[in-house]
Copies of this chain bind each other. A is one copy, B any other.
Amino acid sequence: MLEIIYPLVSVDVALFCVDAERLQVLVVKRAHEPAARQWALPGGILKPHLDKSLEAAARRVLAHKVSVELPLVDEVCTFSGPDRDPRGWSVSVLFYALLPRDKINALVRNKVEALEWSNASAPGHRLAFDHDHQLAAAVKKLRTKVEAGKLPLHLLSEKFTLTQLQRTVETILGRSLDKSSFRRQLKSSSDLVELDEYERGTQRPAQLFRASEGFSF
């Protein structure tokens, strides 16, 4: 008779935000074994009796860390094999999620696990398991989308200026862009809605924009 060994299935999530011109990722100091007291991406074991899908599992994991509903939770890829988790043959499905800039304080603190925003390109801690590779894969996915012309509007507040958008794109790409050609590209985009409102408290108030209804990243 064929013995079926069931692999462990979990989800891990790279939750990004852009703050102070830096792409940040949420890391958590694990309270329990395996890898207790090590920093890692937030994650958890799939719970078939609770989760309707892997994406639902990723959203459940994040709901324990962030008190707002996330506008985007999307799959990156899987990590799998006999050696990546001491509990045995495991599959981790990696997701990434984007947090709007004005929600960066919506973290759900608890006494068991520490949470921290860390530089996504050079995290301050070595991450547990294969999470350094996972983070690199998630950053690459985000960059590739932005390189291909997708606008990372989910990282901005509900209303934003074009300068804030350009800074966010530049932060993700890690290089500066020519202002006039960037604005020219935006002209043909159906993702932006011009508002009849202007930024407050600045000397030369800039026009505000929001994402269009049909916007997708």
Q: Which residue of B lies closest to A91 (CB)?
A: B9
Q: Scoring A residues 1 to 38 as 1 if CB is less than 8 Å from chain B, else 0, what string do you get? A: 00111110100000000000000000000000000000
Known contacts A53-B81, A54-B78, A80-B54: A89-B48 contact under CB 8 Å: yes
**CB of A170, distance to nearest CB on chain B (Å):** 21
For the residues of A in contact with B, the DSSP-based class is loop
List B contacts of A46 (CB < 8 A): 7, 91
Would you call A78 and B81 a contact (CB within 8 A)?
A: no
A78's partner among B4, B52, B82, B93 (CB-CB below 8 A) is B93
**CB of A87, distance to nearest CB on chain B (Å):** 11
Which residues of chain A from 72 to 106 have any CB-CB distance to chain B below 8 Å in the complex? Answer: 75, 77-78, 80-82, 88-89, 91, 93
Interface residues on A, range: 20 to 34
Q: Does A112 contact B (CB under 8 A)?
A: no
**CB of A154, distance to nearest CB on chain B (Å):** 20
**14 more A-B residue pairs beyond the given contacts A6-B48, A53-B81, A91-B91, with a C-beta to C-beta distance below 8 A:** A3-B49, A4-B45, A5-B48, A5-B49, A6-B6, A6-B9, A9-B91, A48-B82, A52-B82, A54-B80, A54-B91, A78-B78, A78-B93, A148-B148
